[in-house]
Protein backbone atom coordinates (compact mmCIF):
# COMPACT_ATOMS: atom_id res chain seq x y z
CA UNK A 1 0.00 0.00 0.00
CA UNK A 2 1.45 3.33 -0.98
CA UNK A 3 -1.44 5.75 -1.03
CA UNK A 4 -1.30 8.86 1.10
CA UNK A 5 -3.04 9.55 4.41
CA UNK A 6 -5.24 12.54 3.73
CA UNK A 7 -8.51 12.18 5.56
CA UNK A 8 -8.58 11.80 9.34
CA UNK A 9 -11.84 10.79 10.96
CA UNK A 10 -12.25 11.14 14.72
CA UNK A 11 -15.14 9.21 16.29
CA UNK A 12 -16.32 10.94 19.47
CA UNK A 13 -16.83 14.52 20.57
CA UNK A 14 -15.76 14.30 24.21
CA UNK A 15 -12.59 15.92 25.51
CA UNK A 16 -10.48 13.24 23.81
CA UNK A 17 -12.10 13.84 20.39
CA UNK A 18 -11.93 17.62 20.40
CA UNK A 19 -8.47 17.84 21.97
CA UNK A 20 -7.14 15.41 19.35
CA UNK A 21 -8.85 17.39 16.58
CA UNK A 22 -7.45 20.68 17.88
CA UNK A 23 -3.91 19.43 18.35
CA UNK A 24 -3.72 17.84 14.90
CA UNK A 25 -5.55 20.68 13.12
CA UNK A 26 -3.34 23.37 14.68
CA UNK A 27 -0.33 21.65 13.17
CA UNK A 28 -1.67 20.47 9.84
CA UNK A 29 -4.50 22.78 8.77
CA UNK A 30 -2.94 26.17 8.17
CA UNK A 31 -5.93 28.42 7.63
CA UNK A 32 -3.80 31.54 7.55
CA UNK A 33 -2.08 30.43 4.35
CA UNK A 34 -3.13 32.72 1.49
CA UNK A 35 -3.96 29.93 -0.88
CA UNK A 36 -5.73 27.75 1.59
CA UNK A 37 -5.30 24.21 0.37
CA UNK A 38 -4.63 22.01 3.37
CA UNK A 39 -3.19 18.62 2.64
CA UNK A 40 -5.50 16.82 4.98
CA UNK A 41 -9.05 16.98 6.28
CA UNK A 42 -10.12 16.33 9.85
CA UNK A 43 -13.69 15.28 10.61
CA UNK A 44 -15.18 14.74 14.05
CA UNK A 45 -18.28 12.56 14.13
CA UNK A 46 -20.22 12.41 17.36
CA UNK A 47 -23.55 11.06 18.50
CA UNK A 48 -26.32 13.32 19.78
CA UNK A 49 -27.71 10.35 21.70
CA UNK A 50 -24.61 9.08 23.49
CA UNK A 51 -23.59 11.68 26.05
CA UNK A 52 -19.99 12.55 26.83
CA UNK A 53 -18.70 11.58 30.27
CA UNK A 54 -18.76 15.17 31.46
CA UNK A 55 -16.25 14.58 34.25
CA UNK A 56 -12.51 15.18 34.18
CA UNK A 57 -12.00 18.43 35.98
CA UNK A 58 -8.29 18.29 36.83
CA UNK A 59 -5.63 19.02 34.22
CA UNK A 60 -1.85 19.25 34.23
CA UNK A 61 0.45 22.17 33.35
CA UNK A 62 0.90 20.60 29.89
CA UNK A 63 -2.61 21.88 29.09
CA UNK A 64 -1.22 25.43 28.98
CA UNK A 65 1.11 24.73 26.06
CA UNK A 66 -1.50 22.55 24.38
CA UNK A 67 -4.12 25.32 24.40
CA UNK A 68 -1.61 27.99 23.44
CA UNK A 69 -0.73 25.87 20.41
CA UNK A 70 -4.36 25.26 19.52
CA UNK A 71 -4.87 29.02 19.63
CA UNK A 72 -7.39 29.43 22.46
CA UNK A 73 -6.56 32.46 24.61
CA UNK A 74 -6.20 31.85 28.32
CA UNK A 75 -8.73 34.59 29.13
CA UNK A 76 -11.31 32.88 26.91
CA UNK A 77 -10.68 29.56 28.64
CA UNK A 78 -11.02 31.11 32.09
CA UNK A 79 -14.13 33.07 31.16
CA UNK A 80 -15.98 30.26 29.37
CA UNK A 81 -15.16 27.07 31.28
CA UNK A 82 -15.61 28.05 34.97
CA UNK A 83 -11.85 27.55 35.29
CA UNK A 84 -9.64 27.91 38.35
CA UNK A 85 -5.92 27.31 38.74
CA UNK A 86 -4.58 23.96 39.90
CA UNK A 87 -1.13 23.99 41.48
CA UNK A 88 -0.98 20.69 43.34
CA UNK A 89 -2.72 17.68 44.73
CA UNK A 90 -3.14 17.74 48.49
CA UNK A 91 -3.44 14.33 50.10
CA UNK A 92 -5.20 14.08 53.44
CA UNK A 93 -5.18 11.01 55.71
CA UNK A 94 -3.48 8.76 53.18
CA UNK A 95 -0.72 7.74 55.60
CA UNK A 96 -2.82 7.42 58.74
CA UNK A 97 -6.55 7.85 59.30
CA UNK A 98 -6.18 11.18 61.03
CA UNK A 99 -4.00 14.29 61.06
CA UNK A 100 -1.85 13.56 58.06
CA UNK A 101 -1.49 15.66 54.96
CA UNK A 102 1.05 16.48 52.28
CA UNK A 103 1.30 18.09 48.86
CA UNK A 104 2.38 16.89 45.44
CA UNK A 105 2.97 20.31 43.81
CA UNK A 106 3.42 20.97 40.08
CA UNK A 107 6.58 23.02 40.60
CA UNK A 108 9.68 20.84 40.52
CA UNK A 109 12.11 20.95 43.46
CA UNK A 110 14.68 23.77 43.49
CA UNK A 111 17.82 23.19 41.43
CA UNK A 112 16.27 20.19 39.69
CA UNK A 113 18.34 20.59 36.53
CA UNK A 114 21.64 20.70 38.44
CA UNK A 115 21.30 18.55 41.50
CA UNK A 116 19.16 15.78 42.95
CA UNK A 117 18.14 17.87 45.95
CA UNK A 118 16.53 14.90 47.75
CA UNK A 119 19.97 13.39 48.41
CA UNK A 120 21.04 16.50 50.27
CA UNK A 121 17.72 17.07 51.97
CA UNK A 122 18.08 13.59 53.50
CA UNK A 123 21.38 14.65 55.03
CA UNK A 124 20.15 18.06 56.15
CA UNK A 125 16.81 16.81 57.47
CA UNK A 126 17.89 16.47 61.10
CA UNK A 127 21.05 18.57 61.23
CA UNK A 128 20.39 22.13 60.28
CA UNK A 129 19.40 25.35 61.98
CA UNK A 130 16.41 25.48 59.60
CA UNK A 131 13.37 23.25 59.86
CA UNK A 132 13.93 20.80 57.04
CA UNK A 133 11.73 18.08 58.48
CA UNK A 134 9.30 18.14 55.51
CA UNK A 135 10.60 17.49 51.99
CA UNK A 136 8.07 19.58 50.07
CA UNK A 137 8.56 22.63 52.31
CA UNK A 138 12.36 22.32 52.17
CA UNK A 139 12.64 22.21 48.39
CA UNK A 140 9.97 24.66 47.23
CA UNK A 141 7.28 27.12 48.18
CA UNK A 142 4.19 26.02 46.28
CA UNK A 143 2.70 24.28 49.32
CA UNK A 144 2.65 27.67 51.02
CA UNK A 145 0.98 29.39 48.06
CA UNK A 146 -1.68 26.67 48.20
CA UNK A 147 -2.13 26.94 51.98
CA UNK A 148 -2.64 30.69 51.65
CA UNK A 149 -5.17 30.33 48.79
CA UNK A 150 -3.01 32.35 46.41
CA UNK A 151 -2.89 32.31 42.61
CA UNK A 152 0.16 30.98 40.72
CA UNK A 153 0.67 34.28 38.89
CA UNK A 154 -0.06 38.00 38.99
CA UNK A 155 -2.46 40.03 36.89
CA UNK A 156 0.46 41.38 34.84
CA UNK A 157 1.89 37.92 34.15
CA UNK A 158 1.42 37.11 30.46
CA UNK A 159 -1.20 34.60 29.43
CA UNK A 160 -0.14 31.00 29.94
CA UNK A 161 3.05 32.14 31.75
CA UNK A 162 3.52 31.23 35.40
CA UNK A 163 5.28 32.29 38.56
CA UNK A 164 4.49 28.92 40.12
CA UNK A 165 3.72 26.04 37.76
CA UNK A 166 0.01 25.36 37.25
CA UNK A 167 -2.70 23.53 35.30
CA UNK A 168 -6.45 24.03 35.58
CA UNK A 169 -9.59 22.82 37.23
CA UNK A 170 -12.40 23.17 34.70
CA UNK A 171 -15.95 22.24 33.78
CA UNK A 172 -15.48 19.31 31.39
CA UNK A 173 -18.74 19.93 29.45
CA UNK A 174 -17.95 23.58 28.88
CA UNK A 175 -14.39 22.69 27.92
CA UNK A 176 -15.52 20.26 25.18
CA UNK A 177 -17.95 22.93 23.94
CA UNK A 178 -15.20 25.57 23.74
CA UNK A 179 -12.87 23.18 21.92
CA UNK A 180 -15.65 22.27 19.50
CA UNK A 181 -16.44 25.92 18.70
CA UNK A 182 -12.78 26.77 18.25
CA UNK A 183 -11.92 23.72 16.12
CA UNK A 184 -14.88 24.18 13.76
CA UNK A 185 -14.83 27.99 13.51
CA UNK A 186 -11.08 28.67 13.51
CA UNK A 187 -9.23 25.49 12.59
CA UNK A 188 -11.34 24.12 9.75
CA UNK A 189 -12.35 20.87 11.47
CA UNK A 190 -15.50 19.33 9.96
CA UNK A 191 -18.24 18.24 12.33
CA UNK A 192 -20.89 15.57 11.75
CA UNK A 193 -23.55 14.73 14.32
CA UNK A 194 -24.46 11.14 13.47
CA UNK A 195 -24.45 7.74 15.16
CA UNK A 196 -21.78 5.42 13.82
CA UNK A 197 -23.30 1.99 13.30
CA UNK A 198 -21.15 -0.10 10.99
CA UNK A 199 -17.45 -0.25 10.18
CA UNK A 200 -16.59 -1.02 6.53
CA UNK A 201 -13.18 -2.54 5.87
CA UNK A 202 -11.12 -3.37 2.80
CA UNK A 203 -9.56 -6.76 2.02
CA UNK A 204 -6.65 -6.09 4.44
CA UNK A 205 -8.97 -5.35 7.32
CA UNK A 206 -8.19 -1.62 7.22
CA UNK A 207 -11.15 0.67 7.85
CA UNK A 208 -12.46 2.21 4.63
CA UNK A 209 -15.49 4.03 5.94
CA UNK A 210 -18.05 4.31 8.72
CA UNK A 211 -21.74 3.88 8.09
CA UNK A 212 -24.07 5.91 10.28
CA UNK A 213 -27.61 5.28 11.48
CA UNK A 214 -28.57 8.40 9.52
CA UNK A 215 -27.39 6.73 6.28
CA UNK A 216 -24.18 8.59 5.81
CA UNK A 217 -20.92 7.02 4.70
CA UNK A 218 -17.86 8.68 6.18
CA UNK A 219 -14.70 7.73 4.35
CA UNK A 220 -11.23 8.15 5.78
CA UNK A 221 -7.60 7.01 5.79
CA UNK A 222 -6.83 7.23 9.51
CA UNK A 223 -9.53 6.71 12.16
CA UNK A 224 -9.08 7.96 15.70
CA UNK A 225 -11.30 6.16 18.18
CA UNK A 226 -12.39 8.67 20.83
CA UNK A 227 -15.72 6.99 21.49
CA UNK A 228 -15.06 6.67 25.22
CA UNK A 229 -15.88 3.48 27.08
CA UNK A 230 -17.85 2.28 24.00
CA UNK A 231 -14.51 1.80 22.22
CA UNK A 232 -16.42 1.40 18.95
CA UNK A 233 -13.46 0.77 16.68
CA UNK A 234 -10.60 -0.51 18.84
CA UNK A 235 -12.82 -2.64 21.11
CA UNK A 236 -16.12 -3.50 19.43
CA UNK A 237 -14.78 -3.79 15.89
CA UNK A 238 -11.15 -4.89 16.23
CA UNK A 239 -11.53 -6.61 19.60
CA UNK A 240 -8.07 -5.54 20.74
CA UNK A 241 -7.75 -7.17 24.19
CA UNK A 242 -8.14 -5.09 27.33
CA UNK A 243 -5.54 -5.61 30.06
CA UNK A 244 -7.43 -5.35 33.32
CA UNK A 245 -5.63 -3.89 36.35
CA UNK A 246 -8.15 -4.40 39.14
CA UNK A 247 -5.80 -6.69 41.04
CA UNK A 248 -3.37 -3.75 41.35
CA UNK A 249 -5.64 -0.71 41.52
CA UNK A 250 -8.90 -1.78 43.14
CA UNK A 251 -11.12 1.23 42.45
CA UNK A 252 -13.80 0.70 39.80
CA UNK A 253 -16.69 3.01 40.77
CA UNK A 254 -17.21 6.72 41.34
CA UNK A 255 -19.98 8.96 42.64
CA UNK A 256 -19.80 12.61 41.56
CA UNK A 257 -21.75 15.70 42.57
CA UNK A 258 -21.65 19.45 41.99
CA UNK A 259 -22.04 21.82 44.94
CA UNK A 260 -22.57 25.54 44.19
CA UNK A 261 -20.93 28.14 46.43
CA UNK A 262 -23.33 29.98 48.70
CA UNK A 263 -21.07 33.03 48.95
CA UNK A 264 -19.79 34.39 45.63
CA UNK A 265 -16.56 35.49 47.31
CA UNK A 266 -15.88 32.04 48.81
CA UNK A 267 -12.17 31.14 48.65
CA UNK A 268 -11.20 28.82 45.79
CA UNK A 269 -8.60 26.19 46.61
CA UNK A 270 -5.87 25.97 44.01
CA UNK A 271 -5.20 22.30 44.57
CA UNK A 272 -7.18 19.11 44.17
CA UNK A 273 -8.01 17.94 47.66
CA UNK A 274 -7.89 14.17 47.92
CA UNK A 275 -9.06 12.74 51.23
CA UNK A 276 -8.57 9.03 51.84
CA UNK A 277 -11.58 7.05 53.07
CA UNK A 278 -11.88 3.47 54.32
CA UNK A 279 -12.58 2.12 50.82
CA UNK A 280 -11.24 4.74 48.43
CA UNK A 281 -10.81 8.51 48.38
CA UNK A 282 -12.84 11.67 47.87
CA UNK A 283 -11.83 14.39 45.40
CA UNK A 284 -12.79 17.98 46.05
CA UNK A 285 -12.18 20.53 43.31
CA UNK A 286 -13.02 24.24 43.46
CA UNK A 287 -14.15 25.95 40.25
CA UNK A 288 -15.29 29.58 40.00
CA UNK A 289 -18.99 28.96 40.67
CA UNK A 290 -19.08 25.55 42.34
CA UNK A 291 -17.14 22.65 43.75
CA UNK A 292 -16.94 19.26 42.05
CA UNK A 293 -16.79 16.51 44.67
CA UNK A 294 -16.70 12.76 44.16
CA UNK A 295 -15.92 9.47 45.82
CA UNK A 296 -13.81 6.89 43.98
CA UNK A 297 -14.14 3.48 45.57
CA UNK A 298 -13.76 -0.25 45.04
CA UNK A 299 -16.97 -2.24 44.58
CA UNK A 300 -15.34 -5.33 46.03
CA UNK A 301 -14.99 -3.62 49.40
CA UNK A 302 -18.08 -1.47 49.75
CA UNK A 303 -21.56 -1.06 48.26
CA UNK A 304 -22.92 1.94 46.36
CA UNK A 305 -25.28 2.71 49.27
CA UNK A 306 -22.40 2.75 51.77
CA UNK A 307 -20.28 4.84 49.40
CA UNK A 308 -23.14 7.32 49.08
CA UNK A 309 -23.35 7.62 52.87
CA UNK A 310 -19.60 8.27 53.06
CA UNK A 311 -19.88 10.98 50.39
CA UNK A 312 -22.90 12.57 52.09
CA UNK A 313 -21.06 12.69 55.42
CA UNK A 314 -18.14 14.42 53.72
CA UNK A 315 -20.47 16.95 52.09
CA UNK A 316 -22.18 17.85 55.36
CA UNK A 317 -18.86 18.19 57.17
CA UNK A 318 -16.94 20.07 54.49
CA UNK A 319 -19.43 22.26 52.61
CA UNK A 320 -22.16 24.66 53.71
CA UNK A 321 -24.85 22.09 52.79
CA UNK A 322 -27.27 21.22 55.59
CA UNK A 323 -28.85 18.31 53.69
CA UNK A 324 -27.87 16.21 50.67
CA UNK A 325 -31.22 14.64 49.59
CA UNK A 326 -31.77 17.11 46.74
CA UNK A 327 -28.36 16.62 45.21
CA UNK A 328 -27.97 14.95 41.83
CA UNK A 329 -25.30 12.36 42.60
CA UNK A 330 -24.09 10.67 39.41
CA UNK A 331 -22.65 7.15 39.43
CA UNK A 332 -19.86 5.90 37.16
CA UNK A 333 -18.58 2.37 36.57
CA UNK A 334 -15.29 1.53 34.96
CA UNK A 335 -12.89 -1.38 34.68
CA UNK A 336 -9.36 -0.19 35.40
CA UNK A 337 -7.01 -1.13 32.59
CA UNK A 338 -5.73 -0.38 29.13
CA UNK A 339 -5.58 -1.90 25.64
CA UNK A 340 -2.96 -4.45 24.72
CA UNK A 341 -2.13 -2.02 21.92
CA UNK A 342 -3.63 1.29 20.90
CA UNK A 343 -2.85 1.67 17.21
CA UNK A 344 -4.24 -1.22 15.17
CA UNK A 345 -4.09 -1.09 11.35
CA UNK A 346 -5.42 2.42 10.48
CA UNK A 347 -7.21 2.93 13.80
CA UNK A 348 -5.72 4.56 16.89
CA UNK A 349 -7.46 4.82 20.26
CA UNK A 350 -7.22 7.99 22.36
CA UNK A 351 -8.97 8.71 25.66
CA UNK A 352 -11.26 6.31 27.51
CA UNK A 353 -11.38 3.92 24.52
CA UNK A 354 -7.64 3.35 25.05
CA UNK A 355 -8.03 2.73 28.77
CA UNK A 356 -8.84 4.28 32.10
CA UNK A 357 -7.40 4.03 35.57
CA UNK A 358 -8.99 5.84 38.50
CA UNK A 359 -8.59 9.65 38.46
CA UNK A 360 -5.99 9.87 41.26
CA UNK A 361 -3.36 12.37 39.98
CA UNK A 362 -5.70 13.20 37.06
CA UNK A 363 -3.48 11.83 34.33
CA UNK A 364 -6.18 11.01 31.71
CA UNK A 365 -6.29 14.37 29.92
CA UNK A 366 -2.50 14.65 30.06
CA UNK A 367 -2.23 11.27 28.33
CA UNK A 368 -4.78 12.38 25.72
CA UNK A 369 -2.62 15.45 25.04
CA UNK A 370 0.49 13.27 24.76
CA UNK A 371 -1.19 10.76 22.44
CA UNK A 372 -2.60 13.42 20.12
CA UNK A 373 0.74 15.24 20.08
CA UNK A 374 2.58 12.10 19.01
CA UNK A 375 -0.05 11.28 16.36
CA UNK A 376 0.20 14.84 15.05
CA UNK A 377 3.98 15.09 15.02
CA UNK A 378 4.41 11.62 13.56
CA UNK A 379 1.38 11.75 11.28
CA UNK A 380 2.09 9.01 8.76
CA UNK A 381 2.18 10.08 5.13
CA UNK A 382 1.53 6.64 3.72
CA UNK A 383 0.05 3.34 4.87
CA UNK A 384 3.52 1.77 4.72
CA UNK A 385 5.06 4.20 7.18
CA UNK A 386 1.99 3.88 9.40
CA UNK A 387 3.08 0.38 10.46
CA UNK A 388 6.35 1.66 11.89
CA UNK A 389 4.76 4.67 13.55
CA UNK A 390 2.03 2.48 15.03
CA UNK A 391 4.60 0.07 16.52
CA UNK A 392 6.49 2.92 18.20
CA UNK A 393 3.31 4.61 19.38
CA UNK A 394 2.19 1.36 21.00
CA UNK A 395 5.52 0.89 22.78
CA UNK A 396 5.49 4.46 24.08
CA UNK A 397 1.89 4.39 25.31
CA UNK A 398 2.30 0.99 26.97
CA UNK A 399 5.19 2.44 28.98
CA UNK A 400 3.05 5.43 29.94
CA UNK A 401 0.27 3.17 31.19
CA UNK A 402 2.68 1.00 33.15
CA UNK A 403 4.19 4.08 34.77
CA UNK A 404 0.79 5.54 35.64
CA UNK A 405 -0.23 2.26 37.28
CA UNK A 406 2.97 1.93 39.29
CA UNK A 407 2.91 5.59 40.33
CA UNK A 408 -0.72 5.47 41.48
CA UNK A 409 -0.12 2.22 43.33
CA UNK A 410 2.74 3.90 45.20
CA UNK A 411 0.18 6.14 46.95
CA UNK A 412 -1.51 3.07 48.44
CA UNK A 413 1.56 0.95 49.15
CA UNK A 414 3.10 3.59 51.42
CA UNK A 415 0.02 3.90 53.60
CA UNK A 416 0.07 2.74 57.21
CA UNK A 417 -3.75 2.72 57.44
CA UNK A 418 -5.20 -0.36 59.10
CA UNK A 419 -8.86 0.63 59.26
CA UNK A 420 -10.15 -1.69 56.52
CA UNK A 421 -9.28 -4.74 54.39
CA UNK A 422 -9.08 -2.30 51.44
CA UNK A 423 -5.92 -0.66 52.81
CA UNK A 424 -4.40 -3.89 54.12
CA UNK A 425 -4.94 -5.67 50.78
CA UNK A 426 -3.44 -2.73 48.93
CA UNK A 427 -0.12 -3.49 50.63
CA UNK A 428 -0.08 -7.21 49.90
CA UNK A 429 2.97 -7.99 47.75
CA UNK A 430 0.89 -9.91 45.21
CA UNK A 431 -0.97 -6.68 44.37
CA UNK A 432 2.22 -4.66 43.81
CA UNK A 433 3.80 -4.71 40.31
CA UNK A 434 7.30 -6.29 40.49
CA UNK A 435 8.90 -3.18 38.93
CA UNK A 436 7.50 -1.04 41.75
CA UNK A 437 8.68 -3.54 44.37
CA UNK A 438 12.17 -3.27 42.91
CA UNK A 439 12.09 0.54 42.96
CA UNK A 440 10.96 0.54 46.59
CA UNK A 441 13.90 -1.68 47.52
CA UNK A 442 16.30 0.69 45.78
CA UNK A 443 14.75 3.80 47.30
CA UNK A 444 15.55 2.53 50.80
CA UNK A 445 19.16 3.24 49.91
CA UNK A 446 18.95 6.22 47.56
CA UNK A 447 16.24 8.71 46.60
CA UNK A 448 14.45 8.45 43.24
CA UNK A 449 16.49 9.84 40.39
CA UNK A 450 15.97 10.34 36.67
CA UNK A 451 17.87 7.07 36.05
CA UNK A 452 15.06 5.10 37.70
CA UNK A 453 12.68 6.04 34.91
CA UNK A 454 13.23 3.88 31.89
CA UNK A 455 11.78 6.06 29.15
CA UNK A 456 12.08 9.54 27.75
CA UNK A 457 9.34 12.13 28.31
CA UNK A 458 7.87 10.32 31.33
CA UNK A 459 4.51 11.53 32.57
CA UNK A 460 5.84 11.50 36.15
CA UNK A 461 9.44 12.64 36.68
CA UNK A 462 11.64 11.48 39.59
CA UNK A 463 10.52 14.56 41.57
CA UNK A 464 6.92 13.28 41.64
CA UNK A 465 8.09 10.04 43.28
CA UNK A 466 10.08 12.07 45.81
CA UNK A 467 7.08 14.20 46.75
CA UNK A 468 4.94 11.09 47.34
CA UNK A 469 7.57 9.00 49.11
CA UNK A 470 8.68 11.66 51.55
CA UNK A 471 5.19 13.09 51.98
CA UNK A 472 4.25 9.56 53.12
CA UNK A 473 7.26 9.34 55.52
CA UNK A 474 9.20 6.77 53.48
CA UNK A 475 12.66 6.12 54.91
CA UNK A 476 15.70 6.38 52.64
CA UNK A 477 19.07 5.95 54.34
CA UNK A 478 20.99 9.20 54.08
CA UNK A 479 24.35 8.96 52.32
CA UNK A 480 26.58 10.94 54.66
CA UNK A 481 29.52 10.60 52.24
CA UNK A 482 27.76 13.23 50.13
CA UNK A 483 27.56 15.65 53.07
CA UNK A 484 30.83 17.45 52.41
CA UNK A 485 30.83 17.71 48.65
CA UNK A 486 30.58 20.93 46.58
CA UNK A 487 27.17 19.70 45.39
CA UNK A 488 26.04 19.50 49.01
CA UNK A 489 27.16 23.07 49.66
CA UNK A 490 25.27 24.19 46.55
CA UNK A 491 22.15 22.27 47.58
CA UNK A 492 22.21 23.69 51.11
CA UNK A 493 22.52 27.22 49.74
CA UNK A 494 19.49 26.58 47.52
CA UNK A 495 17.51 25.30 50.47
CA UNK A 496 18.42 28.33 52.60
CA UNK A 497 17.47 30.63 49.73
CA UNK A 498 14.15 28.79 49.43
CA UNK A 499 13.38 29.61 53.07
CA UNK A 500 13.70 33.30 52.20
CA UNK A 501 11.50 32.94 49.11
CA UNK A 502 8.83 31.25 51.23
CA UNK A 503 8.63 34.30 53.44
CA UNK A 504 8.48 36.74 50.49
CA UNK A 505 6.14 35.02 48.03
CA UNK A 506 2.93 35.62 49.93
CA UNK A 507 3.28 39.40 49.63
CA UNK A 508 3.54 39.20 45.82
CA UNK A 509 0.70 36.94 44.70
CA UNK A 510 -3.02 37.81 44.71
CA UNK A 511 -5.76 35.62 46.15
CA UNK A 512 -6.90 32.97 43.72
CA UNK A 513 -10.44 34.35 43.41
CA UNK A 514 -9.23 37.96 43.19
CA UNK A 515 -7.11 37.14 40.14
CA UNK A 516 -9.88 35.12 38.49
CA UNK A 517 -12.36 37.98 39.00
CA UNK A 518 -9.90 40.46 37.48
CA UNK A 519 -9.30 38.26 34.44
CA UNK A 520 -13.05 37.80 33.97
CA UNK A 521 -13.46 41.56 34.03
CA UNK A 522 -10.43 42.86 32.16
CA UNK A 523 -8.94 39.90 30.30
CA UNK A 524 -5.26 39.08 30.40
CA UNK A 525 -1.91 40.43 29.37
CA UNK A 526 -0.74 38.72 26.17
CA UNK A 527 2.24 40.91 25.33
C1 LIG B 1 -15.14 9.79 37.82
C2 LIG B 1 -14.13 10.27 36.83
C3 LIG B 1 -13.33 11.34 37.14
C4 LIG B 1 -12.37 11.79 36.23
N5 LIG B 1 -11.55 12.83 36.56
C6 LIG B 1 -10.58 13.20 35.73
C7 LIG B 1 -9.68 14.26 36.04
O8 LIG B 1 -9.79 14.91 37.07
N9 LIG B 1 -8.72 14.58 35.14
C10 LIG B 1 -8.58 13.91 33.97
O11 LIG B 1 -7.66 14.22 33.21
N12 LIG B 1 -9.44 12.94 33.62
C13 LIG B 1 -10.41 12.56 34.46
N14 LIG B 1 -11.26 11.57 34.08
C15 LIG B 1 -11.16 11.00 32.75
C16 LIG B 1 -11.82 11.95 31.76
O17 LIG B 1 -13.16 12.20 32.13
C18 LIG B 1 -11.79 11.39 30.34
O19 LIG B 1 -10.51 10.98 30.02
C20 LIG B 1 -12.22 12.43 29.34
O21 LIG B 1 -13.49 12.90 29.66
C22 LIG B 1 -12.20 11.92 27.93
O23 LIG B 1 -13.31 11.12 27.67
P24 LIG B 1 -13.54 10.64 26.18
O25 LIG B 1 -13.61 11.82 25.30
O26 LIG B 1 -12.54 9.57 25.88
O27 LIG B 1 -14.95 9.92 26.26
P28 LIG B 1 -16.44 10.51 26.37
O29 LIG B 1 -16.49 11.81 27.09
O30 LIG B 1 -17.28 9.40 26.89
O31 LIG B 1 -16.86 10.82 24.87
C32 LIG B 1 -17.25 9.79 24.00
C33 LIG B 1 -17.78 10.39 22.71
O34 LIG B 1 -18.04 9.33 21.79
C35 LIG B 1 -19.28 9.57 21.16
N36 LIG B 1 -19.87 8.30 20.71
C37 LIG B 1 -20.08 7.18 21.41
N38 LIG B 1 -20.69 6.27 20.64
C39 LIG B 1 -20.85 6.84 19.41
C40 LIG B 1 -21.41 6.42 18.17
N41 LIG B 1 -21.97 5.21 18.01
N42 LIG B 1 -21.39 7.27 17.13
C43 LIG B 1 -20.85 8.50 17.23
N44 LIG B 1 -20.30 8.94 18.37
C45 LIG B 1 -20.30 8.13 19.45
C46 LIG B 1 -20.13 10.24 22.22
O47 LIG B 1 -21.22 10.95 21.62
C48 LIG B 1 -19.09 11.16 22.84
O49 LIG B 1 -19.05 12.34 22.09
C50 LIG B 1 -12.24 11.13 34.99
C51 LIG B 1 -13.07 10.06 34.67
C52 LIG B 1 -14.01 9.62 35.58
C53 LIG B 1 -14.90 8.46 35.22
pLDDT, mean of residues 489-498:
94
C-beta separation of 408 from 249 below 8 A: yes
Question: What is the distance in A from the centroid of ligand 1 to the CA of 127?
Answer: 50
Give yes or no for residue 351 CB within 6 A of ligand 1: yes
Quick one: pLDDT at residue 305?
Answer: 97
Q: Please tell me the least confidently modeled range out of 126-130, 202-206, 319-323, 489-493.
A: 126-130
Q: For the domain bounded by 253-333, which CATH number is listed? A: 3.30.70
Question: What is the distance in A from the centroid of ligand 1 to the CA of 13?
Answer: 9
pLDDT, mean of residues 101-111:
97
Q: Which protein residue's CA is at the shortest distance from atom 7 of ligand 1?
A: 56
Look up 396 and say whether it is catalytic. Answer: no
Going through 69-109 in order, the beta strands assigned E by DSSP cover 84-86, 88-92, 101-105
What's the pTM value of the predicted model, to 2 decimals? Answer: 0.96
Give yes or no for residue 280 CB within 6 A of ligand 1: no
Give yes or no for residue 235 CB within 6 A of ligand 1: no
Tell whether the model's pLDDT for residue 2 goes beyond 80: no
CB atoms within 10 A of CB 507: 6
C-beta separation of 88 from 271 below 8 A: yes
Quick one: pLDDT at residue 323?
Answer: 87
Sequence-ordered alpha helix ranges (H) in 71-140: 74-80, 117-124, 135-138
Q: Would you call 277 exposed, middle or buried from its count of C-beta atoms within 10 A (0-12, 13-18, 19+)?
A: buried
The string of DSSP letters for 255-270 reads EEEEEE-SSTT----S
C-beta separation of 261 from 290 below 8 A: yes
264 vs 277, residue with greater confidence: 277
- Single out the catalytic residue among 51, 69, 86, 391: 86
Give yes or no for residue 16 CB within 6 A of ligand 1: yes
Quick one: pLDDT at residue 6?
Answer: 93
Quick one: pLDDT at residue 29?
Answer: 86
pLDDT, mean of residues 242-252:
98
C-beta separation of 516 from 78 below 8 A: yes
C-beta separation of 2 from 382 below 8 A: yes
Tell whether the model's pLDDT for residue 58 goes beyond 90: yes
Quick one: pLDDT at residue 31?
Answer: 65
Q: Please tell me the least confidently modeled range out of 188-197, 294-303, 454-463.
A: 454-463
* Among the listed residues 19, 435, 43, the one whose alpha carbon sits nearest the alpha carbon of residue 218: 43
Residue 503 carries which DSSP code?
A: H
Q: Which CATH class is domain 7-57+171-245+336-398?
A: alpha beta
Domain positions in the chain? 7-57+171-245+336-398, 109-156+403-505, 253-333
Question: What is the distance in A from the centroid of ligand 1 to the CA of 94?
Answer: 28
Spatial neighbors of 105 by CB under 8 A, at least 6 apart, are 87, 88, 136, 140, 142, 143, 146, 164, 165, 467
Question: What is the distance in A from the centroid of ligand 1 to the CA of 12?
Answer: 9
pLDDT, mean of residues 236-242:
98
Give yes or no for residue 46 CB within 6 A of ligand 1: yes
Q: Which protein residue's CA is at the shortest distance from atom 1 of ligand 1?
A: 254
Q: What atom of ligand 1 comes closest to residue 50's alpha carbon?
A: 47
Q: What is the pLDDT of residues 358-406, one digit of tens each?
A: 999 999 999 999 999 999 999 999 999 999 999 999 999 999 999 999 9
Q: What atom of ligand 1 comes closest to residue 351's alpha carbon?
A: 26
Quick one: pLDDT at residue 199?
Answer: 98
Amino acid sequence: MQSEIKNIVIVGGGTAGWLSAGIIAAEHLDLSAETHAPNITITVVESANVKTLGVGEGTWPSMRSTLRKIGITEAELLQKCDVSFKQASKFVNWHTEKNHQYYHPFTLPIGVKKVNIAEHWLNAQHSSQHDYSQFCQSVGYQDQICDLGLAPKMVATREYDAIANYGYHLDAQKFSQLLKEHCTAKLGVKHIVNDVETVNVNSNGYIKSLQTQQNRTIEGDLFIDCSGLHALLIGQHYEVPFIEQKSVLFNDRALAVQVPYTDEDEAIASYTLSTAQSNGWIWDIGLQTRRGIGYVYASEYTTEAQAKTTLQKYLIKNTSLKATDELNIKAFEFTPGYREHFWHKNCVAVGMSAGFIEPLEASALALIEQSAKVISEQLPRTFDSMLIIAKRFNQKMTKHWQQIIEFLKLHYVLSARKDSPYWLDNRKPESIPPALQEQLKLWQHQPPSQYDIAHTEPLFPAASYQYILYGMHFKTNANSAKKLTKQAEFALALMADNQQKRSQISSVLPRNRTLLNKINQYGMSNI
